[in-house]
């Protein structure tokens, strides 16, 4: 999608942080932007000060009927959605998995993972029918690397990565692009928005966000996303400092495969079907 001018972008979690930064980066390139967010009050203020053509759409990404309403509102104003950014999410609560309340796990997965599916379910078929469009799903470096104390969050973000990889294969033959964003620490209002949804204060410190660390400028992330949409880049990795850790995980996986291949009695089976060559 080389030309973004005149395109309609629908962005969840758009009232602040990464979502707003993506919206601004796309608006600079001429896109019309629908910012969707669960916080209607903050959303109204954001839209009023937005540097471009924008619409606010209150949306809880868990509510499938609300998705349909938000889509109608957006498309009545700007026409069919060309770019979908499934960015809304909440943070971890710093509990060990064994100590996590079931309702906490369900809430994190419902917003971070099922919320992404709900967006895809609402818009992807229409993009496929038009043979045009692009979807960006926000995962995390926690979708590439696990860590203690954020297990449910890790599970949700690994899920987003897997969903996005499968979606990419499915939509590519139809001219629809897919990207997955895996940010690390970014200076956003994630803690505040998490507190509003859960009613609990976010943890001051987790392995993913040590105390005192603010994170990179979301504007930088927004620009990386806009660039990726234009060239149909799948992986958007704004934090180069995680490269060695991800390489270490990949090396451990390769070593495990090698061990299996060298085990007595091993007999190669048929390769997995349906995985296109890269």
- In angstroms, the CA 134 to CA 126 distance is 11
How many Å apart are CA 63 and CA 78, to the nearest integer?
22
Per-residue pLDDT reduced to its tens digit, 225-255: 999 999 999 999 999 999 999 999 999 999 9
Write down the catalytic residue from 153, 169, 242, 266: 153
Instruction: With a cut of 80, say whether residue 270 has pLDDT above it.
Output: no
Determine the pLDDT at residue 94.
87
Per-residue confidence at 17, pLDDT binned at 50, 70, 90? very high
- Burial classification of residue 191, based on how many CB atoms lie within 10 Å of its CB (0-12 exposed, 13-18 middle, 19 or more buried): middle
Domain boundaries, the chain: 8-261
Backbone angles phi, psi at 54, to 5 degrees: -145, 155
User: Helix (H) and strand (E) counts for the chain?
Assistant: 9, 7
pLDDT of residue 180 exceeding 80: yes
pLDDT, residue 2, reads: 82
Higher pLDDT residue, 272 or 45? 45
* Cα angle 106, 153, 170; round to 5: 85
Beta sheet of 235-236, edge-to-edge order: 54-58, 32-37, 8-12, 83-86, 133-138, 176-181, 235-236
Whether the pTM exceeds 0.85: the reply is yes
Which of 145-159, 200-214, 252-266 has maximum average pLDDT?
145-159
The rounded mean pLDDT for the chain is 92
- Residue 167 confidence (pLDDT) above 80: yes
CATH class of 8-261: alpha beta
Average the pLDDT over 251-260 and give the result: 95
pLDDT attached to residue 203: 64
Stated as kind and residue range, the H or E segment containing 249 is helix 243-261
Range in 2-11, 75-84, 203-212, 261-270 the model is least confident about = 203-212
207 or 200: which leads in pLDDT: 200
What is the model's pLDDT at position 210? 59
Cβ atoms < 10 Å from Cβ of 155: 18
Distance CA(169)–CA(54), nearest Å, equals: 31
Low-confidence winner among 65-74, 189-198, 235-244 (lowest mean pLDDT): 189-198
Q: Is the pLDDT of residue 212 over 70?
A: no
Higher pLDDT, 118 or 185: 118
Q: How far is CA 162 from the centre of its chain?
A: 12
Active site residue 153: yes
Given a contact cutoff of 8 angstroms between Cβ atoms, the answer to whether 122 and 71 are in contact is yes
Which residue's structure tokens are 């949804």? Answer: 197
Q: For residues 70 and 258, give the distance between their C-alpha atoms in angstroms, rounded to a whole number.
A: 49
């Amino acid at each position: 999608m080389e030309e973004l001018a005149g395109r309609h972008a629908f962005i969840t979690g758009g009232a602040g942080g990464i979502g707003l930064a993506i919206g601004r980066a796309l608006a600079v390139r001429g896109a019309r932007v629908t910012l969707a967010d669960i916080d209607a009050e903050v959303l109204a203020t954001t839209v009023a000060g937005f540097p471009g053509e924008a619409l606010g759409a209150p949306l809880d990404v868990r509510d499938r009927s609300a998705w349909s309403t938000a889509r109608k509102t957006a498309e009545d104003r700007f026409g069919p959605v060309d770019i979908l950014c499934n960015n809304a999410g909440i943070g971890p609560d710093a509990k060990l998995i064994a100590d996590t309340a079931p309702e906490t796990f369900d809430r994190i997965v419902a917003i971070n993972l099922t919320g992404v599916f709900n967006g895809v379910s609402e818009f992807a078929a229409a993009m496929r029918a038009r043979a045009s469009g692009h979807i960006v799903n926000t995962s995390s470096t926690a979708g590439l690397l696990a860590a203690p104390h954020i297990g449910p969050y890790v599970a949700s973000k690994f899920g987003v990565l897997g969903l996005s990889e499968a979606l990419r294969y499915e939509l590519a033959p139809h001219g629809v692009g897919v990207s997955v964003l895996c940010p690390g620490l970014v200076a956003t209002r994630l803690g505040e928005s998490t507190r509003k949804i859960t009613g609990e204060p976010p943890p001051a410190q987790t392995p993913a966000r040590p105390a005192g660390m603010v994170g990179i400028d979301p504007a930088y992330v927004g620009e990386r996303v806009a660039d990726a949409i234009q060239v149909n880049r799948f992986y958007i990795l704004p934090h180069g400092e995680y490269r060695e850790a991800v390489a270490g995980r990949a090396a451990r996986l390769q070593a495990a495969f090698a061990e299996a291949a060298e085990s007595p009695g091993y007999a190669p089976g048929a390769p997995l079907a349906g995985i296109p060559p890269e």
